Structure 1
Amino acid sequence: MTERILNITNGDCAVAALAAAAMPGDPLPWRDILHEGPVPGGLDLAALSEVRARFIAERGWASLGPLQAEFAARDARLAGFRDYDRVRFWFEHDLYDQLQLLQLLDWFAGEDLGGTRLTLLCTDEYLGPSSADAIRQRLSAETAVAGAQLELARRAWAAFRQPTPEAWVALLRSDLTQLPFLEGAIRRTLEEYPHPRTGLSRTAFQALCLVAQGEDRFNDLFKEYQTTEERSFMGDLGFYGLLHTLAEGEWALLTIDRRTPAHLIDPEQRYGVTDQGREVLAGRASAGEQLARDRWIGGVHLRPDRYWTWDAATDTLSGMNA
């Protein structure tokens, strides 16, 4: 009898790549940008999916009703995993994928697997641009998901959803070898907290630097930004929204040549660095309060009167509390 396989992966591009490689089984794209917006603890999958759908809709990235239906259908298909002999996790090494993998492994850690096997294919190569032969060759790296991996994922997912970042930082002092790309994901998440001197996240700092160097058109700017990432994870919509955030308010760090909605990308949009932006880049001013306006990183809700900073050079977390 033919083995029934459920292939869970990060999104539609990966699904298309698996199809082109004629991988057997049914695809399930996870389709959530978990490094953007609230991922609070204390919610089951259905409740969290509702929170995620509302956030994505509020950003203008999709309409709420269809998105709620899509999440519900996705979750229902996941709950039907016992219809399959094997669940294959096809994921990459970057932050976007690693957070999705944590969510899924945490969910499976709480399930009775019955006769279904879980296997993992996770490498440092991106699925979307991979050739069919390269994807087929990945099968040689397939491994069974171990109980220790499920336990680590459960601990890490809970830490990511805590209302303060201390537990997420504490993971760096534990053994993470069961999930070899997790440490990089933790560190990259922490780099999205404001820097103690500039108040900028790593992404915001790179964006400002590139504009200051003359890379002022969105399409070119986004391409150059991607080269600054060891493990690219951010999509163009998230980056476009960040640039709009940097251009808002009395102390805007960027100028925009023409105002467009933050969810409708104008590839020819042009940017400039304000005097305040140059002060921040020079370390003579901080943008921490501006970038911490109603911002979420996992379960942590950053506000101007309550936010944390992260110094990647010294692995130091500092907190500000109202």
Structure 2
Amino acid sequence: MEKILNITNGDSAVMVMQQAGIPGVFLPWRDVLHDGPVPAGLSLEKLSEVRAQFIIAQGWGKPAVIINSFKERDTELLSYRNFSKVRLWFEHDLYDQLQILQILDWFSENPPETTKLTIICTEQYLGLASPEQIKALLGHEAFIAESHLMLAKKAWAAFRSSNPKDWQQLLNADTTILPFLNGAIVRLLEEYPDCKTGLSRTAQTALSILLKGKCSPGELFAKYQETEERRFMGDSSFWVILRQLLASNPALMTSAPGMQITLPPTLDQILSITKAGEKVLIGEQDWLDSVVLDRWIGGVHLMPGNVWYWNQKSQQLVKQN
């Protein structure tokens, strides 16, 4: 019997795979790579330290647990030669596509030798699948070739570059061997400030929903999810965006008097758009005039003096003069 290492996007997927009786060891990747710094020039272990500190700073778990999770993950990956096969199980959305790039880039630097590399990547959300659906996905398993590794290496370097144009240039590359990568490239670019509003696509969507009426944070997140062609963002990341819109001066949205957004939210937390939010939404005001930008997208640190806008119409990034 083959000894298999199954690498996938998180614990929910692992749970369903175990229920489906998928053989092997399971390694959930557990990193929200579209949030926070992913700078170039760091080994897997050093990058894991950066990622762990970012997640700790967000308050997304206990520091010791987060640090140990990354260490255990990297140690398991380093043991890949103990397995006859490493099988990647991922989805079509931005969250998963970035994880695929990181893992395949690592294997491009650490040749699998006698260990077979395969991938299963479809439009099926793994954590929402039934055991029967998981079993059926085995029919989509494909071998990972050198061409997969080379494209991933190029794309991962572009993602970690301090020049966002490197990521944009991937739109001109042939990415068909990773069929969902092109969509992920565009979706990440849409998280740069919009050239008219200064808002990311996610923030702009949240305000557009509130323009139609007040709702709770939970309702807002659910309605936002419905707007995504490929759902990738968890509620923790979404909450960070909402808090930024609440904290800007002037605020673009407001909550019930004295209420703060908590995770999980309570039913008495109600959000509504402000007049300032309406002005930004229609392009009468740039949100970045109201906030001090301090945000990482991959290897790009957006901050005063390094502000990049995304022009959806021209599909181009433009640096602020």
TM-score range, shorter chain: over 0.9
1:135 aligns with 2:134: yes
> Paired residue for 2:283?
283
Task: Kindly state the Cα deviation for residue 153 of structure 1 after the two structures are TM-superposed.
Answer: 0.2
> Paired residue for 2:299?
299
8 Å contact kept, 2:8–2:89: yes
> Paired residue for 1:24?
23
Task: Kindly state the Cα deviation for residue 79 of structure 1 after the two structures are TM-superposed.
Answer: 0.2
What is the total number of aligned residue pairs between the two structures?
A: 320
Cα distance in 2 for partners of 1:50, 1:117 equals 29
Unpaired segments ≥5 residues, structure 2: none
- Seq. identity, %: 47
8 Å contact kept, 1:9–1:15: yes
Letter matched to residue 274 of structure 1: T
Letter matched to residue 229 of structure 1: E
> Paired residue for 2:210?
211
> Paired residue for 1:7?
6
1:173-214 Cα distance to aligned partner (Å, 9 max, x none):
011111100000000000000110011110000000111111
Cα distance in 2 for partners of 1:108, 1:262 equals 41
Task: Kindly state the Cα deviation for residue 292 of structure 1 after the two structures are TM-superposed.
Answer: 6.2
> Paired residue for 2:114?
115
8 Å contact kept, 2:217–2:261: no
Task: Kindly state the Cα deviation for residue 20 of structure 1 after the two structures are TM-superposed.
Answer: 1.2
Deviates more, 1:177-186 or 1:132-141: 132-141
1:319 aligns with 2:319: yes
> Paired residue for 2:42?
43
> Paired residue for 1:83?
82
Cα distance in 1 for partners of 2:69, 2:291 equals 31
Cα distance in 2 for partners of 1:147, 1:215 equals 51
TM-score by length of 1: 0.96
Cα distance in 2 for partners of 1:249, 1:223 equals 23
8 Å contact kept, 1:292–1:307: no
Deviates more, 1:288-297 or 1:68-77: 288-297
Cα distance in 1 for partners of 2:232, 2:262 equals 18
8 Å contact kept, 1:194–1:291: no
8 Å contact kept, 1:98–1:182: yes
Cα distance in 2 for partners of 1:97, 1:289 equals 33
Task: Kindly state the Cα deviation for residue 267 of structure 1 after the two structures are TM-superposed.
Answer: 3.8
> Paired residue for 2:52?
53
8 Å contact kept, 1:241–1:262: no
8 Å contact kept, 2:10–2:29: yes
Unpaired segments ≥5 residues, structure 1: none
Spell out the pairing of 1:95-106 with structure 2 (5 A cutoff): 95-106=94-105
RMSD over aligned Cα atoms: 1.4
Cα distance in 1 for partners of 2:127, 2:53 equals 27
Cα distance in 1 for partners of 2:256, 2:80 equals 50
TM-score by length of 2: 0.96
8 Å contact kept, 2:9–2:99: yes
Deviates more, 1:163-172 or 1:62-71: 62-71
Q: Secondary structure at the match of 2:128?
A: coil
Letter matched to residue 197 of structure 1: K
8 Å contact kept, 2:249–2:290: no
